[in-house]
Homo-oligomer: A and B are copies of this chain.
Amino acid sequence: MSKPSTNARPGGRSARVRAAVHRAVTELLAEAPAEALTLPVIADRAGVHPTTLYRRWGSTADLLADVATSRFSGDLVVPDTGSLRDDLKRWTTDVATDLTDPDGLALMRAAVGSGAGASRACMADRHAQLAAILDRERARGGTAPEVEWAADALLGPLMYRAVFTNNSLEPGWVDDLVESFLA
């Protein structure tokens, strides 16, 4: 993962460099396959000295993990409809919609290609959101499946379709996924 920055004031130089580098990664991934994504190429695009990138992130994999954490965290609102079924349907629909963003999918592909750390970074917040939905149902006095089982049954098909197939993630299919999981 990315090294914690010791001088990262919001709006400070450190934050500006990080923003420029993250933007460069997104731009480059939209233009060319991930194989062209090296720290010198990213530094050049971001207008930052390569040494800065090596010192701050160490490797493309660590930088991709940082970009993936930013991109796939806090971007979805955890729904609170009062019903587990509806919460899960809204949330899986939001995840599915997010997976139709080509830039996000290109980042996810690059993260998977760069190794286990960056791959997990794509899913950390999704997993936490799912856990929050299930915990809330328990707090309401309901019963809810274990989060790992829910992740397998919901994130599994969503990620499989998005990454490995050209099947679409249409709304009817997403609803069926949740119904089948709760059956």
- Partner-contacting stretch, out of A34-42, A49-57, A86-94, A128-136: A34-42
A69 at the interface (CB under 8 A from B): no
Which residue of the partner chain, among B110, B115, B164, B180, contacts A120 with CB atoms under 8 Å? B164
CA distance A167 to B123 in the complex (A): 13
For the complex, count residues of A whose C-beta is within 8 A of B. 38
Residues of B within 8 A of A110 (CB): 113
Q: Bound complex: CA of A109 vs CA of B151, how far in Å?
A: 20
A164 touching B122 by the CB < 8 A rule? yes
Interface string of A1-38 (1 = CB under 8 A from B): 00000000000000000000000000000000111011
B161 with A160: CB separation less than 8 A = no
Does A96 sit at the interface, judged by CB under 8 A?
no
Known contacts A155-B160, A156-B160, A160-B155; A165/B113 CB under 8 A: no
Q: In chain A between 169 and 183, which residues have their CB closer than 8 angstroms to a CB of chain B?
A: 177, 180, 183
Q: Return chain B residues, CB-CB under 8 Å to A166.
A: 116, 120
